[in-house]
Structure 1
Amino acid sequence: MSATATRSDRRISPVFLALVAIMLVSAYAVWSGFSASVGFAVFLFVVSGWVVSLCLHEYAHARTALHGGDISIGDKGYLTLNPLKYTHALLSIVLPVLFVIMGGIGLPGGAVFIERGRIKDRWRHSVISAAGPLTNVLFAVLLTAPFWLGMMDGVPDAFRFALAFLALLQVTAAILNSLPVPGLDGYGVVEPWLSHSVRRQVEPFAPFGLIAVFGLLWVPEINLVFFDAVDAILRGLGVTEWDTYWGQEYFRFWQGEPQVPSIGG
């Protein structure tokens, strides 16, 4: 492979740049109120920001796989950050966005195909799987930085709420995708350390792990425990339930513009 081809394989995709542009323009619209519907601007900002984070999540898998020994990653286009290059667009983009709309849950789907046979070391396999959720953790820390650094004075409420809701999605994604459930990254971390027989027994369940986790979250008791944990993490990062609640209300622009009461009553 020539050096030119290598650079081409790693050039950032115009599709990803367009997503970033949508995120920035909608963020400005939310901040300035320069929009016929602030709720619709929040929706665009959160969805585009969420898809950008999905691209970075999968890029992290691909990049660590490349350094781990899978040199086929570049040929597949994964290093361009183009979501259209993923093996399953439905699992990678459509389902995660639907999860957000339906339940305010950030849950990345399976996307990049890694030739695991090229990677010999078990630790490298685990690191490749862990790279995605760690990207969501980093994204959450960056989104909440203005909160825990005390920089929110003067920030428009709608923008504050949108940031908080997008941060909530990152925290839920990091937690859920770290679960040791077949088909999720958490299982990918522990799988290399399991016996061959156990891996063979578990393998048929991998395609259903994502749906099973989402289904369990509709059980009220499980949902309550899960979001209590998410809220506790966000509080540690300076984000309150008030912020995330109204962020989701703005996000659901089809329900009409929310009327946010003052905190003092």
Structure 2
Amino acid sequence: MQLIDGKATAAAIKAEIAEEVKEIVAQGGKQPHLAAVLVGHDGGSETYVKNKVLACEACGFKSTLIRFEDNISEDELLCCVDKLNKDDDVDGFIVQLPLPKHIDEQKIIEAIDYRKDVDGFHPINVGRMAIGLPCFISATPLGIITLLKHYGIETSGKKCVILGRSNIVGKPMAQLMMQKQYGDATVTVCHSRSKTLKEECRAADIIIAAIGQPDFVTADMVKEGAVIVDVGTTRVPDATRKSGFRLNGDVKFDEVAPKCSYITPVPGGVGPMTICSLMKNTLAAGKKEYYK
């Protein structure tokens, strides 16, 4: 069993990005600029945004954090998005999800200029990704593809089961694993209504778990030598930790790991690669790689 170290992989990629940014700036080019909009004080969102700001520093990017209280109106938030769309110095920006209940998330996502949508959530980017055109790819799926490639894990022709059908992970992950230039695998998507979920998992060479239920994948669902990618990050109470909680994956790690050829830990697996992918997308935005 080999542990897939997302932390080390992300650090290596960020170092490469930092070198490239140095060269761009040395040749008189513009320093890439990522802005993040944070609404309210959700603990998970605070952590993610803090890590994104630190990653920007590591990559040599300029970063801007715009904070609002959770009583901000939808119109005010749309006005902020419009400003960022028009700001020529901002190459890419994200609006951290989830948003308060009174704000229509989809409306906000669609208001973002798709050429600055480094989260890869805008329908234009989602559509382009689905048919294999150059675009910003949703950060978590892109991070997983990068990890599989980095570790030389064979995906072509393999049976891949994806647990979860969210717009952020499950659906784009299935699209990428299916496509020739990325996964080239045979893909099955399972979710809470799937009747043969355990049987599908037992036949899988690769399981990507993004179902949001701690310890959902157990040893009896995994065949010997399978590759397991755990996207789950649920906060579970833990009195032994200073924070009072620990992050728990969708996979029951201790019992599943011995059966695997490769497995990602939580934390330190997919999480760091998600932020690293956002940095890759921001660099691409700064270089106008996909959209002129």
Instruction: Give the alignment's TM-score, normalised by structure 2.
Output: 0.25
User: Larger helix proportion, structure 1 or 2?
Assistant: 1
Instruction: Give the alignment's TM-score, normalised by structure 1.
Output: 0.27
